[in-house]
Chain A
Amino acid sequence: MFSRGFIRKLATSTKSTPKITDILIVGGGPAGLTLATGIQESPILSKYNVTLVDGNDLLNKVGDFYYDPPSYFTNRVVSVTPQSMKFLTEKLKVALLQDRIQPYDGLYVNDGITDAFLEIEREEMLYMIEILNIQSSLLHKLTTNSINSRVNIFDNCKVKSITSSVKGDPTSWPLVELANGEIYKTRLLVGADGFNSPVRNFAGLYSRGWKYDTWGLVATLKLDPQSLPIYKLRGWQRFLPTGPLAHLPLPGDNASMVWSTGGNEMSSILMEMDSKLFVKMVNAGFILTTTDIQYYLDAFKKGTLTTEQIIEDIDDRINQVYSSFKDETQIDEKFPPLVVDVVPGTRARFPLKFSHADSYVTDRVALVGDAAHTTHPLVGQGLNMGQHDIEQLLNCLERATLRGQDIGSVLSLEPYWANSYGFNNIRLGMADKLHKLYHTDFTPVVAMRSLGLNIVNQLNPVKNLIADIMTGR
């Protein structure tokens, strides 16, 4: 992204004198904003001068969400663990928009080919929350406590280049040039700048990873009013050979979905569909066989059936499946509530990636959040890992400060990496292995994994262990 020649040229052509800051955070996503708030709220760290830079319109667009939230639920929704929740609301004293948060009590995971399933129940084990709720609540906290705050936010402003102030000396303070021409010289540079992290590239921290050739399709769904109140508030995930399909509860008659779809084609077909058909496909995705789903996708692609015909067929087949249950309560036990609509404009897709940096720290640089690790959303850990990173980094900075160390030195930063790498590695590994295990319909693998899932479902200690990992304990 930043070719060396390009960086050098920019560095030598600047004329303005650098401003000094203690900590410069690149990125105002959930990770960057949480870190800034954490520093501001810490009695030990609040003396530091913090500069947060983001290329997007944070203060107006994101910030306004807090004061004037839309009537619908936005599509970037994350699953947050009680641990992360406690950190945000108790330690950082952030007042989230509570009525837009949905706690839920369990998970129902099943295999789309064999219907082997795993059921985990634990009261309020996880929370569904919009990323914008988190971001805007943090911004609210940062901007309303501004009297003593030493945090400055520059939005709509991209980082143009990063260089060492003393060429060839990695321990020298980095120089960060912004798009508006200003230059910052910082004691500690934090990369909270997402998957394509410019900070990571500058620091030369090697990140292993790959694209999954899979797209995550997200949307906010409207549930059948007849299904209210919802029988069991839980997250549903069905592993289809094309990738997992997840249904996650939101307040009232809302739900959020992520459908990981192998290859480019399936996700673009699903994006293209009329919303009436799309919601039927989501229902089909949970209730019907993988053969049915493929049949509908093909019929739509080739135009052998009209949208109305496909809708009718899906309804018929769902009724067939429903009526095969002798005990009707089993329907609510096995399938999520039916979806009747999708909120306009909330259907979107993004490519799924896996990456993990070998190290999160080096002289004067630390990485947090997606800059350090990106994961498949199938175990719902993306945001939580970022929150865990920040908790660890704050501890580490506090300790270094109390000991009078330079917070930009590797010595100070190393414990942060040591305390978070393992935690993240387990979760990243879990997501990656699950993705690979379920991204096949090869019979022996299907048989083994179904057997495994069924066995795990009978073993409470193992189930508890999984629940512990998923809820961040």
Chain B
Amino acid sequence: MISGFHCISKQPLNRIAGGRILGSKVVGKRTLILEAAMMAMASKYIFGGEARLADKMGNGELYNKNEDYKQLQKEKQLQRLKNLKNSRPMEPNYEGHIPLWPSEKLFLFLVSGIRSFYHPENGINIVQLGESTAIKPVLDHLHHTMLADPIGRRILKDKPEVKENTLHMETLANYPKNTFGYQFYTWCKRENVTPDTRAPIKYIDDPTHAFIFKRYRQCHDFYHALNNVPIIIEGEITIKALEGVNLGIPMALLGTLFAPWRLTKIQRERLFDIYLPWAVNSGLKCKPLINVYWEDLLDKDVNEVRKQIGLFPPPDLRTIRDQRRKELKDLNEKYKNLKEEYN
């Protein structure tokens, strides 16, 4: 690791000489060692892979065809995997589960929180922030919300997956135009997304909780589609607010609180005047969205579905934006004309 640090920071020579000890000897002072170690820890996340590769090249390991050596490598790898496993707080509880220590969860929260603020467009940040803030009381609450409702119970039992093949996206295209399924299909096309783009759950320990959070995540697009809200940032904030109010999901609430600071004035005004009031109102009034079996509603009339859930769409964001754009254009035109006339 330390050699990795040297590799990127100072003299590549040190690395070629190899070894941690030499690395720290070169630096010399204790405080510096500590600093270097910390930097190295951090850099491991960023540059770990390349550094290791470089190390190997340096050690002449990459092209060594020696059979014994291969065996040794394999053992080393197994040992490393075992060490990694022993470093975890528990055995994985489900496929893809990465058990974290509480301190690591806190770290994940801080890092993903900061990164989400600066780079909300990067999905992985939001995904990690979502999982690190989905603490047990929140998930317990969602679990109980589902257990208290017949449909929620059915969802817990069936454990449905929202995937392109489970939804049969291609057939949705042939559904009557007034159905929710068709609406969902056209929305996906318009926004250029597919249900398969949702990230799997990794850091939630309890398997039932993991399923509930996955369900929440996978159903996110249905909320968009039913309300005809685009995935541009204002739309995302609106739907996050709806989720936050309706389901009490901390990340959604955090998003609603912090994300607007990154918007332009006109976007913020639209959000505060139209979309957030709509989201809060609707979120409180409609039934818990986690208890909606969306898969059952695809062939239903979209207005029936809205009535059943108690959720009605806000003014169309894209239309408003287009209108404003057109107004601006018209004004610009006028201004240009005036200018020309004046000249």
Chain A contacts to B: CB under 8 angstroms: 289, 291-292, 294-295, 299, 304-305, 313, 316, 320, 324, 326
**Stretch of B74-82, B142-150, B331-339 contacting A (4+ beta carbons < 8 Å):** B142-150
Closest to A447 in B: B137
Residue of B nearest to A292 (CB): B147
> Is B144 within 8 A of A289, CB to CB?
yes
Nearest CB in chain B: distance from A107 CB, A = 26
Q: In the complex, what residues of B have CB within 8 A of residue A313's CB?
A: 153
The distance from the CB of B88 to the nearest CB of chain A, in whole angstroms, is 14
User: Roughly how many angstroms separate A154 CA and B340 CA in the complex, as a whole number?
Assistant: 122
Number of B residues near A (Cβ < 8 Å) is: 13
Q: List 21 A-B contacts (CB under 8 A).
A: A289-B143, A289-B144, A291-B144, A291-B147, A292-B147, A295-B147, A295-B148, A295-B153, A299-B150, A304-B150, A305-B150, A313-B153, A316-B157, A320-B156, A320-B157, A320-B208, A324-B206, A324-B207, A324-B208, A326-B91, A326-B93
Residues of B bordering A, CB below 8 Å = 91, 93, 143-144, 147-148, 150, 153, 156-157, 206-208
Contacts of A305 in B (CB 8 A): 150
User: Would you call the interface of chain B mostly helix, strand, loop, or mixed?
Assistant: helix
CB of A250 to closest CB in B, whole Å: 32
Question: A299 vs B150: C-alpha distance in the bound complex, in angstroms?
Answer: 9
9 nearest A-B residue pairs (beta carbon): A291-B147, A291-B144, A291-B148, A292-B147, A295-B148, A289-B147, A316-B157, A295-B147, A289-B144
**Bound-state Cα–Cα, A289 to B148, Å:** 10
Known: A313-B153, A316-B157, A326-B91. Is A294-B148 also a contact (CB below 8 A)? yes
Bound-complex Cα distance A324 to B143 (A): 15
What's the Cα separation between A324 and B207 when bound, in Å?
A: 8
Which residues of chain A come closer than 8 Å to B143, judged between CB atoms? 289
CB A299 to nearest CB in B, in angstroms, measures: 8
The smallest C-beta distance from A333 to any residue of chain B, in angstroms, reads 18
* Chain A residues within 8 Å of B150, by CB: 299, 304-305
Chain B residues contacting A326 (CB-CB under 8 Å) are: 91, 93
Q: Which residue from chain A places its CB closest to the CB of B154 in the assembled complex?
A: A313
Q: Which residues of A contact B93 (CB under 8 A)?
A: 326
How far apart are the CA atoms of A305 and B153 in the complex, in Å? 13
Contacting residues, chain A, for B207 (C-beta < 8 A): 324
User: Residue of A at shortest CB range from B137?
Assistant: A443
Q: How far is the CA of A299 from the CA of B149 in the complex (A)?
A: 10
Cα distance A292–B153 when bound, in Å? 9
With both beta carbons as reference points, the residue of chain B lying nearest to A295 in the complex is identified as: B148
CA distance A326 to B92 in the complex (A): 11
Q: How far is the CB of A310 from chain B (nearest CB, A)?
A: 11
